[in-house]
Amino acid sequence: MKEDFRRFLIGEEQRLKFKSIVENNKSRIVVNTSKGDNNNCSSSLHEVLHDNAVMNLIKDTKAAMEIRAYKEFSDMVLSNSDRACYGVKSVEMAHELMAIETLLIMDDLFESAEIGTRHKYVGLVKSVKGAGGKAIVFSAKHVTGVELATTSIAAILRFPMPDLDDGFVT
């Protein structure tokens, strides 16, 4: 796939009579050299987006902020799962207890056909920020948004809440 893209890029630079796209942009072109499953683009893309060179290229963009937040959430799920939650019910319960440090929320929740749903999530974001937390709104068009899309909402918590996923907090 990478060779096909390279051939396409060179063909386009010749067709459009550009000076060498490749030569002028070497510092911005990243080649994934992983030997992973060629059919698993998500895994390969995950590797590229967690590469320090790539993160340096996009460090001041919204995408970089989303990637960092999602990585922090993923790492928290693996290392200290009691400080992470996902799904509407769990996030709402955590919010009631002022436990949300960082809210991760998909932008499509703000585009609901139901006005009440839109107001609910706008209010949640404002409330989390008002309580000193952060809210990261993920675009469904970005890669990290695709990763978060299965739940649409998640949170990194200020303190462990081990019983949150059971629907009750002791």
pLDDT band at 160 (very low <50, low <70, confident <90, very high): very high
pTM: 0.67
Q: Assess contact for 94 and 123: CB atoms under 8 A.
A: no
Q: Which domains does the chain have, with CATH numbers?
A: 62-166 (3.30.1330.30)
Strands (E), the chain: 84-86, 100-106, 134-138, 153-157
Higher pLDDT, 127 or 152: 127
Instruction: Return the pLDDT at 5.
Output: 75
Instruction: Return the pLDDT at 70.
Output: 86
Q: And the tokens for 63? A: 């995408």
Amino acid identity for residue 98 in this structure:
M
Q: For the segment 12-61, what is each residue's pLDDT rounded down to a tens digit?
A: 777 877 766 666 666 666 665 555 555 555 555 566 666 777 667 667 77
Average pLDDT over residues 133-153: 77
Q: At what angle do helices 115-130 and 88-96 cross, to 10 degrees?
A: 40
Instruction: Return the pLDDT at 155.
Output: 96
Q: How far apart are CA 81 and CA 46, in angstroms?
A: 21
Instruction: Return the pLDDT at 170.
Output: 44
Q: For the segment 62-112, what is each residue's pLDDT rounded down to a tens digit?
A: 777 887 888 899 889 899 999 999 999 999 999 999 999 999 999 988 888
Closest listed residue to residue 138, CA positions, set 55, 64, 66: 66
Q: How far apart are CA 93 and CA 97, in angstroms?
A: 7
| Torsion (CA) 127, 60, 150, 112 in degrees, nearest 10 | 50
Average pLDDT over residues 129-135: 96
